[in-house]
Chains A and B, each alone.
Chain A
Amino acid sequence: MILDYILRRLGLLFFMVLLLSIFTFSLSYLFPGDVLSNLSGVSNTNFAQSALLEEKYRVNSNYFIQYIAFLDRILQGDWGVSFASGDSVFKHILDLIPATLELSIYALLISVVVGVPLGILASAYYKRWPDKLISSTAIVGYSMPIFWLALLLIMVFSLKLGWFPMSGRVSLLYEIPASTGFILVDILLADFPYNGMAMLDALHHLTLPTIVLAMYPTTVLVRFTRESMLKVMDQSYIKTARAKGLNRGQLIIHHALRNALLPVIKQIGLQFSTLITLAMITEVIFSWPGIGRWLIDSIYQRDYPAIQGGLMAVSLFIIIATIMAELTYTLLDPLSRNQAHGKV
């Protein structure tokens, strides 16, 4: 049963990745300009070079053969070269994606640690002042454009008070060799006399971007957790328990929490995709050297091979994260398995 379910999800994953790859492939044709240079990233070729490229990219064969050739190259890690830098797109992505993931993961952690308890708290004090305070703060945070929030925080905490830096991952004077790409891990792995200071410095750099990025998912989780709790509290088994004389605190801890948090877990997984998108804006504002900033720069410069590769990498991450979230949810909640394929 469970195996069957996992297989189905993997099938879905395969289907989605297939669609994504077809879409990415067709981008070379959708983008303006020459298909061959969009695919390869090599422009201004002489005759001999372009004949070589034509052979490699099979642009003279039919679309299907071209697509197969495309898949083959993607799997081998040959994603073309960027117009702007002349370097391999795949290498760029490998260098940049850890920075984005790092930021997103910390922001997700914060939003879970802050958002879920606050949501529970709000539902526990339903319609009393803590609930009102939390709910109204949440709707304010939810309505705040992220770039505006970032600017406000920079103005107050960086420029006025000077507490936090406003750009980059660590002071540039610390030369941290990029072994994993995750700055905190890299600092731990690196062997310097000033390890501790570099760590503190990196944490300082992380603070503002993480808070900015965490704001939206936190408010979503607060609202979602609160509603999920209220829904569960409304169910008859809770009413029965209450009738037996349990107080609200006991009810929540022993009976409601487990059931209410299950959908929240799924929601957390879904937030990851929102985070990666919002991370693009955050990265631009905080000059964070991640994939989002690079992708947006590439759009400015009409660097089509880079856009293509960047979009594929980001979408791939999001699809995998979404499916993983659903899988975890289903493993934890047997009830949902029945719905998974029954509901159309």
Chain B
Amino acid sequence: MHKLLLALLSLSLFGCIDSKEEILEEKSQGLVYCAEANPVSFNPQVTTTGSTIDIIANQLYDRLISIDPVTAQFKSELATDWKISKDGKSVTFTLRKGVKFHTTAYFTPTREFNADDVIFTFSRLFDVYNPYHFVGDANYPYFQSVGLDQLIRKIVRVSDHQVRFELFNPESSFLANMATDFAVVLSKEYAMALKANNQENLFDQYPVGTGPFIYKEYRRDHLVRFYKNPDYWKHEVALEQLVYDITPNGTTRIAKILTKECDVTAHPSSAQLSILAQREDINVEKETNLNIGYWAFNTERPPFDNLKVRQALVHAIDVDKIMQAVYYGNGLRAQSMLPPTSWAFEPQKNMPTFDPQLAKKLLTEAGFPKGFNMSIWAMPVSRIYNPNARKMAELMQSDLSKIGVKVNIVEYEWNTFIQRIGEHRHDSVLLGWAADTPDPDNFFSPLLSCTATFSGKNPANWCNPEFDLLLTKALDTTDLNLRKQYYDAAQSMIIDQLPLYPIAHGMRFQASSAEVEGITLGPFGAISLANARKK
């Protein structure tokens, strides 16, 4: 029987050798990117899920301004110029001329990008009279968690190519927030065309942007296909086609890059990096990144509302072992909530140490001498800040069993997982955050503020007015020294109160076939494939 199989094999092989050259030629026009999860939406306004933002934000859309990863200065994008008034309460953007929105199977634009689009896009976030404000239950997690919807008073159309944002009070992080991946510009004309057909719900699923690629199709659990935007305003796009191969399993992603089924893969598991590094036809890039992997407790749910319990649990964890077994030495042990590359970073002296005896003692003091049962929710995908949450959870499970705490590990599909964490159904969760801007506020407001609790983005379910006050004070001033002092206080408050336990800062990795060039990894924000090309 084996002979026959062999014969069959060799038959199909000959076919393959003959035509391999041609196939390569045909394929060289397109790029396959192995992504780790389905996109939850095609509009960055309505989600903060990193895996989704990586796919959509920089490929389909443009922002008004961006931040240069090297100099950390603001850069012009769709806005050619911007001016802040003396009192800091109004910001005027001058818009770029001659930018075209995508022509797709479902929409053909009749006019170019102008001030109406900007006003429509941002008023959706806060203006209840915007016809799209309530589409998708008025949920704009990023903007709500940083309070941008409460900040903008109104947006004024100065001329066709000038808009003025008027704010309730001056805020130092306004421009930084306008430069995040979430602050993309959408087409008003498209929105109105959908509204005329009563199809508002399609708006966030079938995107129209100004970015380098145009949406073609999305098949759940399978692929997302984009074609090149021939009229891209910034530069010529080299790739004809960009396909995201949705591959949740990290090992499969590595395998696919080895078999050349993917040209680029997101988050190759750190366990396998040494294998990839040995291969000459595969490039592995590594870049420090602003992120934090943490263990958050549901502080509203007993016994985790008890600080002693949180401290006891944290002291039982051997973080060194985690650094070795989960990050394989490619991560930085957290010394604070902020990573060392942030300007507001302050190493915390009272960072909890691995001390099972102390943990046992604290647990007894808290009234649980025999321990208790709890769940750790481990996120099912690998992200920069936590390449393998399941494994981390297993290590913790064994550490915690030594102080009598029995752990049940919970896993769900990624989008369901996020949704259920938002509903605060967990005891504790292994999660993390990758920064969208270099501004330190990005590590605090979106995660631990009270508004974040309400929008379901606060995994610790922790609302502390004192902490919120610190954040507000830090935002109200532009004095860097003063801001740093407030953020220092915020950092030590997190370690004292332990709504979450910062574990590690991961490195950002990307593996790509040696034929691919032009993809750069930044220290923050989503991946951009606009300049990618094949040799």
Q: Give residues in A with beta carbon < 8 Å to B.
A: 84-85, 87, 110, 114, 118, 134, 137-138, 141, 154, 158-159, 162-163, 165-168, 171-173, 175, 194, 196-197, 200-201, 203-204, 207, 211, 218, 222, 287, 289, 293-294, 297, 300-301
The SS class assigned to the A binding surface is: helix
12 additional A-B pairs beyond A171-B32, A289-B219, beta carbons within 8 Å, are A87-B220, A134-B1, A141-B1, A167-B245, A171-B261, A172-B223, A172-B243, A175-B216, A200-B19, A218-B1, A300-B413, A301-B412
- The chain A residue with its CB closest to the CB of B22 is A197
Do residues B413 and A297 form an inter-chain contact, with CB atoms below 8 A? yes
Task: Decide: A114 near B26, CB < 8 A? Known: A171-B261, A172-B32.
Answer: no
Q: How far is the CA of A168 from the CA of B8 in the complex (A)?
A: 20
Choose among A138, A172, A173, A203 the residue that contacts B15 (Cβ–Cβ < 8 A): A203
Closest chain A CB from B363 CB (angstroms): 33
Choose among B1, B23, B256, B412 the residue that contacts A167 (Cβ–Cβ < 8 A): B256
Do residues B258 and A114 form an inter-chain contact, with CB atoms below 8 A? no
Choose among A84, A194, A201, A218 the residue that contacts B416 (Cβ–Cβ < 8 A): A84
Do residues B259 and A173 form an inter-chain contact, with CB atoms below 8 A? no
Instruction: List residues of chain A with CB within 8 A of the CB of B2.
Output: 137
Q: Tally chain B residues at the interface, Cβ within 8 Å.
A: 41
Task: Decide: A168 near B413, CB < 8 A? Known: A134-B1, A163-B16, A204-B12.
Answer: no
Instruction: List residues of chain A with CB within 8 A of the CB of B223.
Output: 172
Do residues B261 and A166 form an inter-chain contact, with CB atoms below 8 A? yes
Q: How far is the CA of A110 from the CA of B259 in the complex (A)?
A: 26
Choose among A171, A204, A297 the residue that contacts B27 (Cβ–Cβ < 8 A): A171
Closest chain A CB from B323 CB (angstroms): 29
Do residues B27 and A173 form an inter-chain contact, with CB atoms below 8 A? yes
Do residues B23 and A159 form an inter-chain contact, with CB atoms below 8 A? no
Say yes or no: is B105 at the interface (Cβ < 8 Å to chain A): no
Do residues A197 and B26 form an inter-chain contact, with CB atoms below 8 A? yes
Closest chain A CB from B199 CB (angstroms): 15
Closest 10 CB pairs of A and B: A173-B30, A172-B243, A301-B413, A158-B259, A197-B23, A194-B26, A85-B220, A173-B27, A165-B261, A289-B222
Q: How far is the CA of A89 from the CA of B5 in the complex (A)?
A: 38
- The chain B residue with its CB closest to the CB of A95 is B219
Q: How far is the CA of A110 from the CA of B11 in the complex (A)?
A: 15
Do residues A84 and B413 form an inter-chain contact, with CB atoms below 8 A? yes
Q: How far is the CA of A244 from the CA of B79 in the complex (A)?
A: 99
Task: Decide: A114 near B1, CB < 8 A? Known: A85-B220, A168-B261, A294-B221.
Answer: yes
Task: Decide: A207 near B12, CB < 8 A? Known: A138-B1, A197-B19.
Answer: yes
Do residues A162 and B245 form an inter-chain contact, with CB atoms below 8 A? no
Choose among B15, B19, B258 the residue that contacts A159 (Cβ–Cβ < 8 A): B258
Instruction: List residues of chain B with CB within 8 A of the CB of A173.
Output: 26-27, 29-30, 32, 241, 243
Closest chain B CB from A122 CB (angstroms): 10
Q: List 13 A-B contacts (CB under 8 A).
A: A118-B1, A118-B4, A137-B2, A159-B258, A167-B261, A203-B12, A204-B12, A207-B9, A207-B12, A289-B222, A293-B221, A294-B221, A301-B416
A-contact bits for B224-263, CB 8 A (1 contact / 0 none):
0100000000000000010101010000100110111100
Say yes or no: is B13 at the interface (Cβ < 8 Å to chain A): yes
Do residues A167 and B252 form an inter-chain contact, with CB atoms below 8 A? yes
Task: Decide: A287 near B252, CB < 8 A? Known: A138-B1, A297-B221, A300-B413.
Answer: yes
Task: Decide: A222 near B221, CB < 8 A? Known: A204-B12, A297-B413.
Answer: no
Q: How far is the CA of A287 from the CA of B34 in the complex (A)?
A: 13
Q: How far is the CA of A196 from the CA of B22 in the complex (A)?
A: 10
Instruction: List residues of chain A with CB within 8 A of the CB of B252.
Output: 166-167, 287
Instruction: List residues of chain A with CB within 8 A of the CB of B243.
Output: 172-173
Instruction: List residues of chain A with CB within 8 A of the CB of B258.
Output: 158-159, 162
Q: How far is the CA of A201 from the CA of B26 in the complex (A)?
A: 12
Q: How far is the CA of A201 from the CA of B412 in the complex (A)?
A: 34
Instruction: List residues of chain B with CB within 8 A of the CB of A138.
Output: 1
Q: How far is the CA of A109 from the CA of B26 in the complex (A)?
A: 32
Closest chain B CB from A67 CB (angstroms): 30
Q: How far is the CA of A159 from the CA of B22 in the complex (A)?
A: 22
Instruction: List residues of chain B with CB within 8 A of the CB of A200.
Output: 15-16, 19, 23
Closest chain B CB from A32 CB (angstroms): 15
Q: How far is the CA of A166 from the CA of B29 in the complex (A)?
A: 22
Do residues B259 and A165 form an inter-chain contact, with CB atoms below 8 A? yes
Q: How far is the CA of A158 from the CA of B262 in the complex (A)?
A: 13
Do residues A162 and B259 form an inter-chain contact, with CB atoms below 8 A? yes
